[in-house]
Structure 1
Amino acid sequence: MMLKLFVIAVFVHTISFVGFVQSFDYKDEIAQGTCTSLITEPDHIYAVRRTCSSNTPTTCDAVCSNIGKKCFNALHVYSGIILGGAETGKQGLHTYKYNSCSGTNCGPNFCCCSDKPHAVPNPNAFKDYIAQSACTAILPGSNHVYAVRRQCSSSSTVDCNAVCKDLTKTCFNSLHVYGGVQLPASDTGKVGLHTYRYNSCASSGCGPNFCCCSG
């Protein structure tokens, strides 16, 4: 009788454990693996669950800060389909990477936290590269060239002449680099990246988001 009870207890424990892993815990494991891969410096890394709902104002910056850590990224690990061992060619697991710690609502359901601060990748860094290349090509003659970000808003009255002057530089043109679509390598005949060249440093409002300044 005791042997039967022991076997039943082990069986129930196994079913319970496997069920727990498959129903939720895989999200923790995916988040932990992803967060660990997102930084290259040595550090302790924590994938911390965040409540994901339409009225949640708490950001991952706050979630990590509340446990004495620093946020360096955020994720949403979806409840995807757990495929059978022999299944192929079907959509299974699914994640979203934010490259930000400021998302609210739903929103991230995991925060990547660490003991030390780490830079959050800038998803718009390609704009800096395009602006720097364009300003360098536009410059007449030889000089040092700086593509300087400008705040682009309908109420802004500060033009690129002023932006460059504040840096003791001289403006020679301005650009708007749009948040275009970065196409896959195999796509052709489609609009991807997009810029506007002003040939002026006096435009305000929105307006240029980069000023071409020279030394």
Structure 2
Amino acid sequence: MSPMIWYLLIFLCCMKGVVLSYSKDEVALAICTAETNGSMTFYGRVLAVRRTCTNPGKKCKDICKEQGATYHCFDAVHIYSRSTLKYLAAHRYLLHGCDATYCGPNYCCCGQ
């Protein structure tokens, strides 16, 4: 076998144990940003703002307004941690999550 094939096999064997790590903030921002792709509304700036779990809690539309008068909520997401599930997972609430006061969404998608 050629040395290149050996290097490839060693590389692939080593990759099996590699675990990619992403923060919940990065995942939330990626979801919020991806959601604006192809939408009818163009957002020059997109934020994923953390929302504290309290019951009743602040509405995402109010949290977005706190970021600036021109920001508004276009989605709310819940990013589950790895301790809850084997892999990172997310649930999108869409526009209905912007008015949620229950402990559900832990990130607000805000656009300007």
Shorter chain as normaliser: what TM range? 0.5 to 0.7
Following superposition of structure 1 onto structure 2, how do residues 26-175 of structure 1 map, counting pairs within 5 Å?
126-139=23-36, 140=39, 141-156=42-57, 158-168=58-68, 169-175=71-77
User: 5+ unaligned residues in a row in structure 2: which ranges?
Assistant: 1-21
Query: 1:191, CA displacement in angstroms?
Result: 4.2
Runs of 4+ residues deviating >3 angstroms: none
Structure ranking higher on relative contact order (CA contacts 8 Å, 6+ apart): 2
Query: 1:147, CA displacement in angstroms?
Result: 0.4
User: 5+ unaligned residues in a row in structure 1: which ranges?
Assistant: 1-124, 182-189
Give SS of 2:23's match. helix
Q: Is the 8 A contact 1:147 1:212 kept in 2?
A: yes
Tell me, in whole angstroms, the C-alpha distance in 2 between the residues paired with 1:127 and 1:204.
21
Greater fraction helix: 2
Aligned with residue 195 of structure 1, among 69, 83, 90? 90
What is the aligned partner in structure 2 of residue 13 from structure 1?
none
Residues matched between the structures, number? 82
Could you state the TM-score of these two structures normalised by the residue count of structure 1? Answer: 0.36
Q: Over residues 89-139 of structure 1, what are the superposed CA-to-partner deviations in whole Å (9 max), with x where a residue is unaligned?
A: xxxxxxxxxxxxxxxxxxxxxxxxxxxxxxxxxxxx710000000000112
Give SS of 1:208's match. coil
Task: State, as a whole percentage, how many aligned pairs show the same letter.
Answer: 37
User: Which structure would you say has the larger Rg?
Assistant: 1
Q: Please give the root-mean-square deviation of Cα atoms over the aligned residues, in Å.
A: 1.8
Query: 1:174, CA displacement in angstroms?
Result: 0.5
Give SS of 2:29's match. helix
